[in-house]
Structure 1
Amino acid sequence: MGRLIFDHALLPDGWAREVAVTVRDGVIQAVAPGAAPQAADRRVSGVALPGLPNLHCHAFQRAMAGLAETRGPTGDSFWTWRQVMYRFLGALTPEDVEAVAAFAYMEMLEGGFTTVGEFHYLHHDADGLPYANLAEMCERIAAAAAGTGIGLTLLPSLYAQGGVGGQPPVPGQRRFLNDPERFLRLVEGARKAVAGLPGARVGVAPHSLRAVTPEQLRAVLDAMPDGPVHIHAAEQVKEVEDCVAWSGLRPVEWLLANAPVDARWCLIHTTHMTPDETLRLAQSGAVSGLCPLTEGSLGDGVFDGVRFGESGGLFGVGTDSNIEITAPGELKQLEYSQRLAHLGRNMMALTEGEHTGRRLYDTALAGGARAMGRPIGAIAPGMRADIVALDGEHPDLAAVSGDRWLDAYVFTAGRAAIGSVFVGGEQVVEGGRHRGRAAITRRYVDVLRRVGA
Structure 2
Amino acid sequence: MPHATYAADFLWQDAAWQVGRRGVAVEDGRFVEDAAGGERIGRFVLPGMPNLHSHAFQRAMAGLAERRGPGEDSFWTWRETMYAFAEAIDPDDLKAIATQLYVEMLKAGYTQVCEFHYLHHGPRGVPYADPAAMSLALVEAAKDAGIGLTLLPVLYMTGGFDGRPLSERQRRFGHDVGQYVALLERLVPMQHDMLRVGIALHSLRAVPEDAMRSLLATGVATTLPIHIHIAEQIGEVQDCLAMRGARPVEWLLDHADVDARWTLIHATHLSEHETRRLAASGAVAGLCPTTEANLGDGLFPLADFIDAGGTLGIGSDSHISVSPVEELRWLEYGQRLVTRHRNVVARRADESVGETLWRQALRGGALASGVDIAGFHAGARADLLVLDDRSPLLAARGEADALDSFLFSGNTPLVRDVMVGGRWRVRDFAHAAQDRVAKAYRGVVERLAAA
TM-score normalised per structure 1: 0.96
Match of 1:30 among 4, 29, 33: 33
Aligned letter for 1:76? D
Q: State, as a whole percentage, how many aligned pairs show the same letter.
A: 46
Q: Which of residues 321, 334, 338 in structure 1 aligns to 2:335?
A: 338
After superposition, give the CA deviation of every residue in 1:133-190 in whole Å (9 maximum; x if it has no partner). 1111111000011001101111110000001121221111011000000001111222
Secondary structure of the structure 2 residue equivalent to 1:419: strand
Q: Runs of 5+ in structure 2 lacking a partner?
A: none
Would you say 1:21 and 2:21 are equivalent positions?
no
- Which residue of structure 1 aligns with residue 142 of structure 2? 145
Residue equivalent to 1:11: 13
Distance 2:443 2:386 in 1: 32
Change over 3 Å in CA distance of 1:260–1:36 after alignment to 2: closer
Matched, 1:255 2:256: no
What is residue 291 of structure 2 aligned with on the other side? 294
2:207 corresponding residue in structure 1: 212
Q: Which amino acid aligns with 1:338?
A: Q
Tell me which residue corresponds to 2:313. Answer: 316
Extract structure 1 runs of 4+ deviating beyond 3 A.
none
Q: Amino acid of the residue matched to residue 201 of structure 2?
A: P
Instruction: Give 1:119-268 correspondences, 5 Å limit.
Output: 119-192=116-189, 194-195=190-191, 197-223=192-218, 224-268=221-265
Which stretch shifts more, 425-434 or 11-20? 11-20
Quote the Cα distance in structure 2 between the aligned partners of 1:188 and 1:322: 29
- Report the Cα distance in structure 2 between the residues aligned to 1:449 and 1:189, rounded to whole angstroms: 33
Check conservation: 2:5, 2:37, Cα contact below 8 A: no
Tell me which residue corresponds to 1:66.
63
Q: Which moved more, 1:16-25 or 1:173-182?
A: 16-25
Cα separation, 2, equivalents of 1:7 and 1:348: 27
CA RMSD of aligned residues (A): 1.2
Alpha-carbon displacement from aligned partner over 1:290-340 (angstroms, at most 9, x marks no partner): 000000000000000010001100100000001110011100010001101
Following TM superposition, by how much is the alpha carbon of 1:18 offset from its aligned partner in structure 2, in angstroms?
1.8
Whole-angstrom CA distance in 2 between matches of 1:190 and 1:69: 36
1:182-229, Cα deviation, whole Å (9 max, x unpaired): 00111122225x44x534211100100011000111111111111200
Partner amino acid, structure 2, of 1:14? W
Q: What is the distance in 2 between the residues matched to 1:76 and 1:290? A: 22
How many aligned positions are there?
A: 445
Relative to structure 2, which stretch is displaced further, 404-413 or 322-331?
404-413
| 1:399 alignment counterpart | 396
Assess if the C-alpha contact under 8 Å between 2:25 and 2:32 holds in 1.
yes
Is the CA contact 1:62–1:100 (under 8 Å) kept in the aligned structure 2?
yes
Contact 2:124–2:168 (8 Å) recurs in 1: no
**TM score, norm. by length of structure 2:** 0.97
Query: For structure 1, which runs of at least 5 residues remain unmatched after alignment?
Result: none
Q: State the match for 1:89 in structure 2.
A: 86
- 2:399 and 2:408 map into 1 onto residues whose CA distance is 15
